[in-house]
A = this chain, B = another copy of it.
């Protein structure tokens, strides 16, 4: 059987992956409480027993899904290589990337919401993810310093607050797109609306940092 043949009758790693992927979708759609283990098993074309075999419990499965989701975005951010860009371009790129990432991975938002509903109890000792996040903060800190040296950014900006704000203006718009579209009586998700929001966000952040 060749290495690329994915139709092996037995493949622990592949089954594990299918379960993780199915779980991500189900948790994202229904939250931790609303997700059904049976549904995850079906989606993964696996047996429920396999879930308990590989992950131990529904909560531990959620933890695994959540950690994978955080590591995925942190890695994508790292690959931006913002250090090689002029400060203003780097910051704008990060704002745009963050927006695009949330747009392409709505499940990330829902997972984070679910985790916060549960007071982050699955993340309690996720040292790796916290470290990766501090790496992102350091990245932004470097951008800020470069911009200040150039004289285009003001100083005294807290890089954690800036990070939070960059996330916030995209995240809030997208997580509340359903209630928002009703309450503001406008379709928040058509291409023009999305584009308009992205430029508004870029403007917000650039005005925030400019000297």
Chain B residues positioned under 8 Å from A70 (CB to CB): 183
A169 at the interface (CB under 8 A from B): yes
Contact with B along A90-118 (1 / 0, CB 8 A): 00000000000000000000101111110
Chain B residues positioned under 8 Å from A181 (CB to CB): 120
A129 at the interface (CB under 8 A from B): yes
Count residues on chain A whose CB falls below 8 Å from chain B CBs: 55
Chain B residues positioned under 8 Å from A203 (CB to CB): 208
Chain B residues positioned under 8 Å from A113 (CB to CB): 113, 117, 175
A123 to B176, CA, bound (A): 12
A185 to B123, CA, bound (A): 12
The number of times this chain is found in the oligomer is: 2
Distance from A124 Cβ to chain B, minimum over Cβ atoms (Å): 7
- The answer to whether A178 and B34 have CB atoms under 8 Å apart is no
Q: A117-B110, A117-B113, A175-B113 are in contact. Are A183 and B34 (CB under 8 A)?
A: no
A179 at the interface (CB under 8 A from B): yes
Given contacts A116-B177, A120-B181, A163-B184, 6 further A-B contacts (CB under 8 A): A112-B179, A116-B178, A160-B186, A169-B169, A207-B208, A208-B208
Task: Tell me the dominant secondary structure on chain A's binding face.
Answer: helix
* A28 (CB) vs chain B CBs: closest residue: B117
Chain B residues positioned under 8 Å from A129 (CB to CB): 183
A15 at the interface (CB under 8 A from B): no
Chain B residues positioned under 8 Å from A178 (CB to CB): 115-116, 119-120, 123
* A204 (CB) vs chain B CBs: closest residue: B208
Chain B residues positioned under 8 Å from A173 (CB to CB): 164, 168
Chain B residues positioned under 8 Å from A124 (CB to CB): 182
A169 to B201, CA, bound (A): 11
A175 to B110, CA, bound (A): 12
A165 to B210, CA, bound (A): 18
A167 at the interface (CB under 8 A from B): yes
A147 at the interface (CB under 8 A from B): no
